[in-house]
Structure 1
């Protein structure tokens, strides 16, 4: 991906609105996606991410706004006139054609000769490590191999942008994890801009150059994975990306991006504040892995261990505060780890810089 994303944008989504009757699926969406970027649209089911992808592909018309591809407005171009290709959740391979013929089919429809289509098909099959399987039928392939055939077919015409609509959803967990790495490497090898749609936070965090978090047809936050995770803009982003504690606090003041708060139990606490934070009631976001257990008399807040959850590498500890609010801590399992007993009183501290005041 280009380091400066103001240079040579691949896709510009400019104040796009998409309505279905009285329902607004996309509401004033603006995004700039850089050339050679792995960009992910992340959000829950029904948030509008697939609708946006279909608008870029030309399968849906937009109600307002503009979509530009390398500076050219493509909002009114039919799908076959847009230099983009899409990989869907269902791979839709022709069952009676072998792998090579499945890849050649679209090329021949575009006017490639038999010889040229065969040569290009073999190039992309080699790229996705399926050349030895060129003569097999789709039914003779695993789910991961079928997914790679669909990728090869989409890459064959050399699209400027590749759109991927939850293409890993049909794969089991271990295969999904392996294919994530393959996709990331494939994007780097081809230099093609990838726009990936998923509801899986782990997929987004591990694969993407940048992520756009979408909710109710609106973009909530855009940025690199680390920024989205460490510095969420609001409660939705913090809660949707990974796991977080949202602790009710009284905000006594906000100045220069920092908030002064009163924690449950009365301790004063100062932390970074999201844009728009103000005096009054607020929510402190702290990731469970940034919460540490300590002696109650030395802690910011105290509570009693309500539940211990063993997860192999980690132990999740649910701590009930005096007001009934629950705070989760995550402790890595090791020989030296001290795990308190259920019902024990414990103190909780936060790592420096780990807490952030959020708006709703």
Structure 2
């Protein structure tokens, strides 16, 4: 088995302060070579600050950042083998698409013919060869974004940093560009570090995700792991939709926690280290892991009444009120397959949970 090389990025106990304000609080994480890695979190959580520290646009107050095993604190941005794609594309309006892509290569010492050849190859990669002679103003937003990508990829950086590059695009184009970005990352083999506040965007593209809040790393893992097994209430609530329930742990038997929801309702889920009998904690249950019936099933069933049905295109969300207990949101695919039944408002029903759907949250 070949020896594995150094990680693309290692962040060790990184802190960033602006006066009395601490933007990043001892962040430690590793980004592997040839990985599509996403920094995900709400505005102001510190994700762009961390990206700028990797790029060299911000100094590290405390801690260290390593790029392929080398400490880069004193390495200026133009000496780092990284490139950045910004939200606003930053294309030169007076240059053609080809010249925009070739510009950075010429600044790095490539001859004009060599730069234009490499730029042409990059435009072919992003499927814009036919627009090489146009100006940016003659392109759509999505096409301009692909020019910016081609320009950033042309020098063949070891790491590409992407700071919410799709935020200005409409929804349909954003979804198309998500798939295109992932394809480009696989095609080039370059490590991508992507910043976004859009959960679906992160889940669609990423090999791994670092969820951040208030300058702290909340959870790091593969997309499915973070979605299915959130560590705490912030991650459960921020990633996708969920039913967040206040519960008390009444008993623990054979690794299973019996939890009281109020109104005499109980649910059973896997026990979690650090949560003992008598604890008052939160439970997360994804709405697509629930289904409704007019009689209890062999799975756990909670009796309630349908409040309303909300049509959301691909799915129907049903709100069910448990007597003296919480409301549940249940998501059902908008399809005739599977003999699914939609119950009208006011109908008595049972909310049934798939095995393993409920998860206790540590905090």
Q: 1:74 to 1:145 in 2, by over 3 A?
A: same
Q: 1:159 to 1:172 in 2, by over 3 A?
A: same
Indicate the residue corresponding to 1:338 in structure 2: 341
Indicate the residue corresponding to 2:306 in structure 1: 305
Indicate the residue corresponding to 2:330 in structure 1: 329
1:74-153 alignment runs, 5 A limit: 74-153=72-151
Q: Is the 8 A contact 1:302 1:347 kept in 2?
A: yes
Q: What displacement does 1:125 show? A: 1.0
Q: What displacement does 1:104 show? A: 1.2
The SS at the match of 1:278 is: coil
- Structure 2 Cα separation of the partners of residues 182 and 297 of structure 1: 45
- Structure 2 Cα separation of the partners of residues 154 and 320 of structure 1: 52
- Structure 1 Cα separation of the partners of residues 362 and 3 of structure 2: 28
Q: What displacement does 1:131 show? A: 1.3
Within the candidate set 350, 353, 356, 2:353 is matched to 350
Greater shift in the superposed pair: 336-345 or 200-209: 336-345
Q: What displacement does 1:115 show? A: 1.5
Q: Is the 8 A contact 2:261 2:325 kept in 1?
A: no
Q: Residues 268-287 of structure 1: CA distance to partner in whole angstroms, max 9, x if unpaired? A: 44312455433311212110
Q: Is the 8 A contact 1:46 1:216 kept in 2?
A: yes
Indicate the residue corresponding to 1:315 in structure 2: 316
Q: Is the 8 A contact 1:210 1:223 kept in 2?
A: yes
- Structure 2 Cα separation of the partners of residues 55 and 243 of structure 1: 32
Are 2:254 and 1:244 aligned? no
- Structure 2 Cα separation of the partners of residues 274 and 49 of structure 1: 29
Q: What displacement does 1:113 show? A: 1.1
Q: What displacement does 1:309 show? A: 0.3
Greater shift in the superposed pair: 286-295 or 51-60: 286-295
Indicate the residue corresponding to 2:161 in structure 1: 163
Greater shift in the superposed pair: 348-357 or 338-347: 338-347
Q: 1:326 to 1:257 in 2, by over 3 A?
A: same
Indicate the residue corresponding to 1:182 in structure 2: 180
- Structure 2 Cα separation of the partners of residues 218 and 353 of structure 1: 28
- Structure 1 Cα separation of the partners of residues 43 and 273 of structure 2: 27
Q: 1:138 to 1:315 in 2, by over 3 A?
A: same
Q: 1:171 to 1:7 in 2, by over 3 A?
A: same
Are 2:285 and 1:282 aligned? no
Q: What displacement does 1:5 show? A: 12
Q: Residues 59-103 of structure 1: CA distance to partner in whole angstroms, max 9, x if unpaired? A: 111110000000000122111111100000000100000001101
1:195-214 alignment runs, 5 A limit: 195-214=193-212
Are 2:358 and 1:359 aligned? no
Q: 1:64 to 1:271 in 2, by over 3 A?
A: same
Q: TM-score, normalised by structure 2?
A: 0.94
- Structure 1 Cα separation of the partners of residues 87 and 39 of structure 2: 15
Indicate the residue corresponding to 2:23 in structure 1: 25
Q: TM-score, normalised by structure 1?
A: 0.94
Aligned residues: 358
- Structure 2 Cα separation of the partners of residues 34 and 115 of structure 1: 35
Greater shift in the superposed pair: 343-352 or 268-277: 268-277
Point out where structure 1 has 5 or more consecutive residues left out of the alignment.
Answer: none
